[in-house]
């Protein structure tokens, strides 16, 4: 049996569980897009530009386990690289496919459009190799199946993006048809000797400790075993905290949950609990400057077991040859009970009293009302900035999810990411919190929410500038031109859309807007929340001061 290169790729994307792929058309990928449509395993979703396309794919990959996007050569793929960097940093397997020049133009001296103006057409793949786990440049239809499979297999195993470059004259060239997909989806078997030794060393670590805490990090999203954590906590009998970027990775209504550990801006009691523990099981953490509040929150190595995606470090020894899934599955069956930390009661989050309906809208009241909207079937996407801190201080029901981008931290990510998440998990309610400055970077993608009738509820926090940057380091560059954000929806709707644009200046107006949003099921609802520029969380101010101090350290003198 034979197929075409483009249809082979399309079939594989469907086989790994994708129902959609994202695309921006360009003349080097048009035949490829035709082939994907003809094979039809995944629905083609169009983006306003390649950056938004990549962020949408990244959001889809978070919800669905993997994602794919198709762009054109150079002018398209280079624009997408910011989003691919995000997928790499955040451990999301996005397959980025780029159309490319005709194979006959290589080595001829032909000067092509959409290039750097020279005849070396390998620069794009070379760039992509730095932000992907596999980069395949296809030059023959015969070898295309193996190269496509290698890119997809590596992305799924490494939980990183992968790159496939398909010349425009090979997209419809004949190649072998795909066989079973099991080899792409299967996880390599664990090294039994290494895994057993790791578990024995883990046992020695735990038995020697009186007060053990589980600390869940953001890389656990990529592990695929978040659902195992409650059972592990039950077996061990210990308390559980999560890092800020892992908010929602452990059910907050579970009796073991003790809040968010974020150094000096932790949930009440969480910092003392973690930093006083003599045994900390760190599962998939990222200890960057943001997570450590400018390198101020550090854990003692001798008290810490570090479990990453492909191995663990414990008692000064490193064990590899197995995945974190295989390790935690085995640990859940063998872990000793260590209940010391569980005796420390959970301290409640500060409550926010409801404001009078005619009161000027505040950040606290906005957060309180959004919190009441969230149920166990809600995904909350929180943009870089005060939305992080508002999400962290919410008290979430079990099943609620939070998506943020604290490692890459590129403003504007959340709008297209929420679109991708809504397509990847259509049965969930999707709520987005985004600031006005971030929104201006990727606002066009709301038009695609209108196009695909996605009922995302957007809380546009209009505090008239880049407030997170103002708190870190102020300057005239942090102040932006105000828009009529709610008014944009009418333009995006044009003659056939069902989006809704609302504006709230009081507590009562916000409550009414939320009720209208819940009833609007055929498109997005954007609620512009008008806040004073100085109105933000106390934790943002405290955190921003510490991060600014870390950024401002003087150079070392040799």
The verdict on whether residue 523 carries a ligand-binding annotation is: no
Domain 192-334 sits in CATH at: 3.40.50.1220
Q: Name the residue ranges covered by the structural domains of the chain.
A: 2-185, 192-334, 363-545
- What contacts 24+ positions apart, CB below 8 Å, involve 272-276? 273/213, 273/239, 273/241, 273/341, 273/344, 274/213, 274/215, 274/241, 274/299, 275/299, 276/211
Strand segments (E) across 203-340: 212-216, 239-243, 257-261, 279-283, 304-308, 311-314, 317-320
For the chain, the residue count is 558
What distances in angstroms separate CA 213 from CA 67, 200, 303, 359, 392, one per listed residue? 34, 19, 10, 42, 19
Q: Other C-beta atoms within 10 Å of 296: how many?
A: 14
- Is 436 annotated as ligand-binding? yes
Written as six digits, the tokens of 129 are 């190799």
Bridge-partner residues for 402, per DSSP? 380
With contact defined as beta carbons under 8 Å apart, do 154 and 162 qualify?
Answer: yes
Strands 67-71 and 43-46: unpaired
CA dihedral in degrees (241, 244, 246, 248; nearest 10)?
80
Helix 50-64 to helix 77-89 angle (10° resolution) is: 30
- 363-545: CATH topology is Rossmann fold (3.40.50)
- DSSP secondary structure letters along 165-192: EEETTTTTSEEEPP--SHHHHPPPPP-H
DSSP secondary structure letter of residue 321: S
Pairing of strands 429-435, 378-382: parallel
Q: Which residues make Cβ contacts (< 8 Å) with residue 234, sequence separation at least 6?
A: 256
pLDDT tens track for 148-199: 999 999 999 999 999 999 999 999 999 999 999 998 999 999 999 999 999 9
Structure tokens at 498: 């069902």
User: Residue 216 has what pLDDT?
Assistant: 98
Question: 3-class DSSP state for residue 244?
Answer: helix
Answer whether 65's CB lies under 8 Å from 223's CB: no
Parts of the chain with a pLDDT under 50: none
Give backbone dihedrals phi and psi of 458, rounded to 5 degrees, phi first. Answer: -105, 120
Per CATH, 2-185 and 363-545 having the same topology is answered: yes
Among residues 413, 366, 416, the alpha carbon closest in space to that of 394 is found at 366
pLDDT at position 264, please? 95
* CA distance linking residue 416 with residue 49, whole number of Å: 10
Helix, strand, coil percentages, rounded to 5, for the chain:
40, 20, 40
465 is in an annotated binding site: yes
- Can you name the residues that pair with 262 across neighbouring β-strands? 264
CA distance 450 to 352: 33
| Among 261, 187, 255, 180, CA closest to 225 | 187
Domain 2-185, CATH among 3.40.980.10, 3.40.50.970, 3.50.50.60, 2.60.40.350: 3.40.50.970
CA atoms within 13 A on the CB side of 494: 7
DSSP of 197-222: HHHHHHHHHHHT-SSEEEEE-TTHHH
The residues, ordered by sequence, that sit 6+ positions from 354 with a Cβ below 8 Å of its Cβ are: 365, 368, 507
């Amino acid at each position: 049996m034979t197929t075409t290169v483009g249809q082979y790729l399309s079939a594989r994307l469907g086989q790994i569980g994708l129902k959609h792929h994202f695309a921006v058309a360009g003349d080097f990928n048009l035949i490829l897009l035709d082939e994907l449509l003809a094979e039809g395993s995944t629905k083609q979703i169009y983006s306003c530009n390649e950056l938004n396309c990549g962020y949408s794919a990244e959001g889809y990959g978070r919800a669905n386990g993997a994602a794919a996007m198709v762009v054109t050569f150079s002018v398209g793929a280079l624009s997408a690289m910011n989003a691919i960097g995000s997928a790499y940093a955040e451990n999301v397997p996005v397959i980025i496919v780029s159309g490319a020049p005709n194979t006959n133009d290589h080595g001829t001296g032909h000067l092509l459009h959409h290039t750097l103006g020279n005849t070396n057409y390998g620069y794009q793949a070379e760039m992509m190799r730095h932000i992907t786990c596999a980069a395949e440049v296809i030059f023959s239809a015969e070898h295309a199946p193996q190269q496509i499979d290698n890119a997809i297999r590596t992305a799924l195993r490494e939980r990183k993006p992968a790159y496939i470059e398909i010349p425009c004259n090979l997209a419809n060239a004949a190649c072998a048809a795909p066989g079973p997909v099991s080899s792409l989806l299967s996880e390599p078997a664990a090294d039994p000797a290494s895994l057993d030794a790791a578990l024995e060393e883990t046992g020695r670590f735990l038995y020697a400790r009186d007060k053990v805490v589980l600390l869940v990090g953001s890389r656990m999203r990529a592990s695929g075993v978040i659902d195992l954590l409650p059972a592990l906590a039950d077996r061990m009998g210990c308390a559980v905290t999560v890092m800020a970027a892992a908010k929602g990775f452990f059910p907050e209504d579970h009796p073991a949950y003790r809040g968010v550990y974020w150094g000096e801006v932790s949930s009440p009691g969480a910092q003392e609990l973690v930093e006083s523990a003599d045994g900390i099981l760190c599962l998939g953490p990222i200890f960057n400057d943001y997570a450590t509040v400018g390198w101020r929150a550090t854990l003692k190595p001798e008290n810490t077991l570090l479990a990453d995606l492909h191995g663990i470090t414990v008692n000064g020894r490193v064990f590899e040859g197995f995945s974190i899934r295989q390790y935690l599955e085995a640990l859940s069956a063998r872990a000793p009970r260590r209940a010391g930390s569980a005796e420390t009661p959970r301290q409640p989050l500060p409550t926010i009293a409801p404001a009078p309906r005619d009161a000027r809208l505040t950040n606290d009241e906005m957060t309180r009302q959004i919190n009441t909207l969230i149920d166990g079937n809600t995904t909350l996407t929180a943009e870089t900035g005060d939305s992080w801190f508002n999400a962290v201080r919410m008290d979430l029901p079990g099943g609620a999810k939070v998506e943020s981008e604290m490692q890459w931290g590129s403003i504007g990510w959340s709008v297209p990411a929420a679109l991708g998440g809504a397509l990847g998990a259509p049965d969930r309610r999707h709520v987005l919190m985004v600031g006005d400055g971030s929104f201006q970077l990727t606002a066009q993608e709301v038009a695609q929410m209108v196009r695909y009738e996605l009922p995302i509820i957007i809380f546009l926090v209009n505090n008239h500038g880049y407030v997170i940057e103002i708190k870190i380091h102020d300057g005239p560059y942090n102040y932006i031109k105000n828009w009529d954000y709610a008014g944009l929806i009418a333009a995006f709707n044009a003659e056939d859309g069902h989006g809704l644009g609302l504006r709230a200046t009081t507590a009562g107006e916000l409550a009414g807007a939320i009720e209208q949003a819940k009833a609007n099921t055929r498109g997005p609802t954007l609620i512009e929340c008008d806040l004073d520029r100085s109105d933000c969380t106390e934790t943002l101010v405290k955190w921003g001061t510490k991060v600014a101090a870390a950024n401002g350290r003087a150079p070392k003198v040799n």
